[in-house]
A = this chain, B = another copy of it.
C-alpha cells in the first residue's frame, strides 16, 4: 500500500515542535550553513562599502513549469535584481507562506531547486521564516526572497546616467519564461517544449562592469510586463525616447509561434533570465561582442534600439518595412501570476 502523501498542517507554522522538525529534517538538511544553523532571528555577517538590497515575493502559478519551479525562480529573480544594481548577490533570505495541505514532497523538490540555484549563483541562504495559512487562504506556496549584495566597484547604475545616443542591449531572446508558463496553463503542445529562461545573469553583468565600468549606464531585467514595460518606465523616468528596431529583437521561432497562437505580443511577456543594458553609444558594439563572447551561442544578445531626444517619454518601434508604431505601457494584466 502506498504511503499517504504527507502534507503541511497549521502546526508547521506554530513556531513549536512541528516547525522545528520541518526546519531540521528539510530546510537545514538541504540549505544548512553556519548562519542558518544558529537558528537565530537573523544572520550576522561582515560586509563593507556600497551594498545593494532587494526583495521579491513569488506567487507563480503553476509552481512547476518547463525549465524550473518557483524555487529557482525566486533565487534567480533576487540574484538578478541585485545584478541590476551592479551587485554580486552574497546573502539571501527565504520566507515561505505555505497553504495548509500543501504537499511536503513538492516542497522538497522546491527546496532542492533553491539549493541548486543558490549554489550556481554563489549565494548563501542565511535567514528565513515559515508561515502556514488555512486551506483556501493561500495557494500552495508563496516564496519571498530578499537579498544583500556587494556593488561592483566600477558600477554606477542609475537611470539618471542614460543619455541620448545610448544603445539598448538585450542579453537574449524574449518571452521564454512567460510562454513556458502559458504553455502549461493552456495545456498547449508545441513542436518542441518551450523552456523558461530562469537563470541568474550576474556573471555576465559583472564581466561587463569589469570591462566597461561606468559606460554601462543602466541595467534592468524585463520580468513582469516584459521589455515594453521596462522601456516605457525608463522613457518616462528619463523623459527621453526609446527607439526600437524590430528586426534586431531576438526571438525564438517557437516562442514567436506560441505568442501568435495565443495573441500575445512577446514585448509584453515576462522574462526571467535576460537583462537589458543602456550602454554608451561609442562602446556599444564592443559591449555586445564581449557579451556574445561570454554567453552560449544560442543566446542571441543584440543591440535592439537607441535612446533619442525625439518622442520624449515614449517607446517607438521601427518596423522592418519602414513603419513606426508606439509601444504603449500596458494598462491591465496580460498574464497574472507569471512570477
Contacts and interface: CB of A to CB of B under 8 A. Distances in A.
A49 interface: yes
A16 B84 contact: no
B42 A52 contact: yes
A40 interface: yes
Q: Chain A interface secondary structure, helix, strand, loop or mixed?
A: mixed
Contacts of A146: 55, 93, 95, 144, 146
Interface string A114-138: 0000000000001111011110111
Contacts of A332: 11, 14, 16-18
B158 A38 contact: yes
A9 to B, nearest CB: 8
The size bracket of the interface on A is 35 or more
Contacts of A138: 137-139, 142
A138 B135 CA distance: 10
A317 interface: no
Interface in A128-168: 128-129, 131-134, 136-139, 142, 144, 146-149, 151, 157-159
A336 B80 CA distance: 34
Contacts of A148: 51, 53, 148
B10 A336 contact: yes
A258 interface: no
This chain: how many copies in the complex? 2
Contact of A41 (B49, B51, B54, B91): B54
A95 B16 contact: no
Contacts of A38: 158-159
A225 interface: yes
A333 interface: yes
Interface in A303-339: 329-334, 336-337
23 contacts: A13-B337, A14-B336, A16-B225, A17-B331, A38-B158, A39-B237, A42-B54, A42-B81, A42-B82, A42-B87, A43-B53, A44-B50, A44-B52, A45-B53, A47-B48, A53-B148, A55-B95, A56-B129, A57-B144, A59-B131, A95-B146, A132-B336, A133-B142
Given A42-B81, A42-B87, A56-B129, 11 more contacts: A13-B224, A14-B330, A15-B229, A38-B159, A40-B159, A41-B82, A41-B221, A44-B52, A44-B87, A132-B336, A137-B138
